[in-house]
Amino acid sequence: MNRRILVSAFIAAAFFPSCVKKKESQTSRSQGDPYQVTATVGMIADVTREIAGDQATVHNLIGEGIDPHSYRPGKSDIDALQTADLILYNGLLLEGKMGEVLGSQKKAGKPILAVAEGLSDYPIIGGESHADPHLWMDVTAWSKVSEKIAHHLQTFDPVNKDKYSTNLEGYQTQLQQLDAYAKTCIATIPEKQRFLVTAHDAFSYLGRAYQLEVRGIQGISTESEAGLQEMNELVNFLVESKIPAVFVESSVSDKSVRALIEGARAQGHEVKIGGELFSDAMGPAGTYEGTYIGMIDHNITTITRALGGQAPEKGLQGKLAH
């Protein structure tokens, strides 16, 4: 029996026995009790908590330092999806290994939303065929996502519609401040140094929104690999452009980034690691960097300072750990 058949059998075995449990959980939940939301990645979970407030309990599947591109759900994840009243995921193939599990929930009639898909008046990088899923790197895009999540919660729980509207308005005000901070900081980087080189291509939306040229060693998915020619071209680019810093990511191996540094050093150009950025996962739970706003604040502040720009050491709100 091949691996695909085994995985399908596991999903089926885990899913169907719990259908009865799900019905029981829905009928046993008293009116006014928090409903259960399961979100795949932390960025979605954090926004949902901000908008839902105490009306919902939000569970995040893929946590700190974990790569969603290659994440395979375990039994506890499937249980969390089955017992949820609502499921929120990014879409655009970010959760590539979870497609079958999410699809089974949708077929079962579970309310499920791909928050990054179908946004009005927002151009997706790569188009439909090769879509870049990392929308959260553009704060204005994530503000649109927060509005979409709020509408979904209002549809599910119309009794608390006004609460969700109020929470959304307050949160979007914070996002506007974050977006303005990002534009102001990046603009202070000397123009010839506005190049962001990272482990994989997760920052194109950030580059487009805040006027940075972005180069990733790997492609949009961390499962792609850079060839020798691409690595050599990046090394030559670092040397010729005299780029002062490159960046590692919290959820991706730093092996390729360090190979770039060694390659540049061999050509007589010293490049430093400018810091660790949050790409596909936020910081530790319970910290400022473990929120969406803190994640982006950290990234913008770290990039700006490493590339020669001006940003306060503790970031927008003075809360960054370093």
Domain range for 226 is 182-306
Q: How far apart are CA 293 and CA 279, in angstroms?
A: 13
Please check the confidence at residue 292 and state whether its pLDDT lies above 60.
yes
- Are 104 and 225 part of one and the same domain? no
Q: What is the pTM of this model?
A: 0.87
Please check the confidence at residue 1 and state whether its pLDDT lies above 60.
no
Q: Which residue has the higher pLDDT, 38 or 9?
A: 38
The pLDDT of residue 31:
67
- Are 155 and 229 part of one and the same domain? no
26-78 pLDDT per residue, tens: 434 566 799 999 999 999 999 999 999 999 999 999 998 898 988 999 999 99
- Are 82 and 189 part of one and the same domain? no
In sequence order, the β-bridge partners of residue 57 are 36
- Per-position b or e across 100-134, b if 16+ CB within 10 A of its CB: ebbebbeeeebebbbbbbeeeeeebbeeeeebbbb
The pLDDT of residue 225:
60
237-277 pLDDT per residue, tens: 999 999 999 999 987 888 889 999 999 999 999 999 999 99
- Among 312, 95, 299, 283, smallest CA distance to 206 is for 299
Backbone dihedral angles phi then psi of residue 247, each to the nearest 5 degrees = -130, 140
The pLDDT of residue 29:
56
Query: CA end-to-end span of the chain, whole Å?
Result: 51
Q: Averaged over 74-92, what is the pLDDT?
A: 96
- Are 28 and 77 part of one and the same domain? yes
- Are 152 and 297 part of one and the same domain? no
Is position 39 within any domain? Answer: yes
- Are 36 and 157 part of one and the same domain? yes
pLDDT bin (cut points 50, 70, 90) of residue 120 is confident
Range in 169-173, 206-210, 318-322 the model is least confident about: 318-322
The pLDDT of residue 26:
42
Q: How far apart are CA 261 and CA 269, in angstroms?
A: 9
Both structure tokens of 192:
């010839």
Instruction: Give the chain's domain count.
Output: 2
- Among 30, 47, 50, smallest CA distance to 39 is for 47
Is position 246 within any domain? Answer: yes
The mean predicted confidence, pLDDT, of the chain is 88
Backbone dihedral angles phi then psi of residue 245, each to the nearest 5 degrees = -155, 150
Q: How far apart are CA 315 and CA 311, in angstroms?
A: 7
